[in-house]
Structure 1
C-alpha cells in the first residue's frame, strides 16, 4: 500500500459463530496517514491478527458497532495482550455506551490493569472528537435487536495537484517555485511576480469514504450515506429465501436487500460479509455462490464477498481492488 491509499483487511467474516474457515466479525482499516483501526472484535480476533503484519502498537482506535458477542467478545483479550506487549500509547474505544460498562466490569472482576491510557467515546459524541488524525468518523444508527451502528470513515485532507500546463503556458519553468506551490506555499519569482498557491492548484479530487455497517435488517437506513460513499461494507447473513424462512426475529439482512439498496444509492463498490455458517463454497441454495448470484442479480456495481484475510485497497481515484 502507498501512503495515500486506504485499505481494509477482514479478520473475520462469519456471523454468530466461527466456522472452520471463517472467524467472527473483525475488520482492520488503514487510512492514508498510516496506523490502523479495528472495527468490531469478535472472539479470536487477536489470533487472526497474529497471521497478519498488523501490530497492536500501531492500533489507533477500536470501533464497536454493537454489543452482540460475535462483535465484541474478543475485546478484553486484545486489550490485555496489547498491555502485555508493552504498549504505552493511548488507545480510543468507540461504541454504544454499555460498551464501557462491559469493559469496566471485565477489568474490575479479572484484575485487568492496562499500562496505557484507554479513552472511551460514545457514538453520540463522535462529532466532538477527532478520534483519527487522517479520517473523519461518524456513526449512523441501524436496526437490530440492540442498538447497532455503521461507521463512516472519510479522509480529512485531499491533496491538490499543481496545474503544470497553466504554469508552462505562463512561462514559469519547473523549479523551486513549483515545489513551493505544490506544498501550498506562495512563491516569489526572480522577476518579482508573486504566485498565490491557491491560484495554481487544481481542484481537489473527491474525498474517499468507506462505510462499515454493523448488524442491520433495514439497509435503507444507509441509503443517503451510501450515495456519497465509495465503498459499503454490509452484512449479508442470509439469502432472501432463507431470510423469509427464518423470519424477522434475528433482524439481519439478505444479500438481495443489501444489493438492491446499493443499486438505488449508486455506491460503486459493495463488499458483503457476516455470512451465516450454513453457506459454504460450492453450488446450491446453501452456497456462497447463491449469495453472490442474488446480489449480482440486482446490483451492477463491483460486488465482493469477503473471506477472512481478504485485503482491499481503495485507490485515490476511487477504484477498489482486492490484493
Structure 2
C-alpha cells in the first residue's frame, strides 16, 4: 500500500508545501485514489508516476478551498488528456453544488461519467480501486469527514496440511477451494473453501482524516488500523492562544489519541504556514514534532510534499521522498 503526499500545508501554500492532497494506491498497481484536491494538486502530480487516466476516485473531506479548489482544474485536465473511463467523486453534498457552479460558469465539459456519492450516504461495502471505503464524520466549521481505506482483495492461502489430512485429492479441487468456492468431493461430500483457506496476510487499513478538532471521534474508525494520517495545524500553545474558532487539532491532541488507541503508525500533516522546517522567519516545525513525540511512542512522521510511504504486508511503514 502506497501513500504519496501532494500537499501538506494548511490554508495557503508555502515555498516548500502545497495545500492538501494525498494519493493512495496498492503497490504494484497503477490505479489510485486521491484524497482532497487543493489548488495546484495537478501540478504536483506532474512530478509523480501517477496518471489521471488511472484515477479511480476522488474523496473530498470538506469544502474549504485548501481541500477542493484544485478539483475543477484536475477534472478539466483529465478531459483534455482524453479520459473516457468513469470517475467516482465522494464528498459533502455542497461539493457537488460547488462543482456544478464552476461547470455552468466556465463551460467545463466532461466526456467521462462523473459519479457523485454524498459522503453522508456512502453505501456499506463500497469498493473502489482495490479498497473498501467508509466515511466518518468529524468536528470542524463545516461538515468534515475522515475516510477509512481497507485492502479489499487479499488472496487466499490454502491450508495444504488440512487438505491432505482430510484426504482431498490435489488438482482442480484444490484450485476451486483456494478461490473460496464450495466443491463436491468424489464421495459426494460437499466442502467449503472457507474451511481450507486463510488470507495470505491481514488486510491493511489506513485512516485519513479531514480537518478536525476532536481526534477521539475517530476511535471506531481507527480500530485495528495500521496508520492514521491526521492534521496537526498547530502546536498546543498556539492552539490555545488562537482559541477554538478555527476548529483544528494540535500535534499534542492527535498524538495523545494515537497513543491511547495503540496505533502503530502516525503521519501528521496540514501544518500552518507559520511553521517552517528549520525555523526560518516562522516557528520551527520541530515544535510540533517535539510535543507529538512526548505523547506518542509509536512510529511518528511529519509529512513533507512528495513524501512516499509504503505500508508492507507485515504492517511495516517505509519512507522515501520522490524528489530525493
Alignment correspondent of 1:16? 11
Contact 2:148 2:207 (C-alpha < 8 Å) held by counterparts:
yes
Q: For 1:108-158, what per-residue CA distance to the aligned partner results, in whole angstroms no more than 9, with x for missing partners?
A: 001111111112111112116735152221111111111111111122233
Equivalent runs, 1:186-201 vs 2, <5 Å: 197-201=193-197
| In 1, Cα distance between equivalents of 2:210 and 2:297 | 23
Contact 1:226 1:266 (C-alpha < 8 Å) held by counterparts:
no
Closer, same or farther: CA 8–286 of 1 in aligned 2, 3 Å: same
Alignment correspondent of 1:28? 23
TM-score (normalised: structure 1): 0.89
Alignment correspondent of 1:80? 76
Number of aligned residues: 318
Q: For 1:40-81, what per-residue CA distance to the aligned partner results, in whole angstroms no more than 9, with x for missing partners?
A: 000000000011111010011111101111001111100100
1:252 equivalenced with 2:248 (yes/no): yes
Q: For 1:65-108, what per-residue CA distance to the aligned partner results, in whole angstroms no more than 9, with x for missing partners?
A: 01111001111100100000010111111111110110000010
Q: Greater share of strand residues, 1 or 2? A: 2
- In structure 1, runs of 5+ residues without a counterpart are 1-5
Equivalent in 51, 54, 57 of residue 55 of structure 1:
51
Closer, same or farther: CA 259–120 of 1 in aligned 2, 3 Å: same
Equivalent in 304, 308, 312 of residue 311 of structure 1:
308
Alignment correspondent of 2:267? 271
Equivalent runs, 1:1-323 vs 2, <5 Å: 6-31=1-26, 34-127=30-123, 130=126, 132=128, 134-167=130-163, 178-185=174-181, 197-202=193-198, 205-282=201-278, 286-323=283-320
Q: Secondary structure at the match of 2:52?
A: coil
Q: Which moved more, 1:7-16 or 1:218-227?
A: 218-227
| In 1, Cα distance between equivalents of 2:166 and 2:114 | 54
Q: For 1:180-207, what per-residue CA distance to the aligned partner results, in whole angstroms no more than 9, with x for missing partners?
A: 5433356789999987533322366432
CA RMSD of aligned residues (A): 2.6
| In 1, Cα distance between equivalents of 2:125 and 2:206 | 19
Contact 2:127 2:152 (C-alpha < 8 Å) held by counterparts:
no
Q: Secondary structure at the match of 2:123?
A: helix
| In 2, Cα distance between equivalents of 1:173 and 1:322 | 45
- In structure 2, runs of 5+ residues without a counterpart are none
Q: For 1:201-235, what per-residue CA distance to the aligned partner results, in whole angstroms no more than 9, with x for missing partners?
A: 23664322211111111111112222321111000
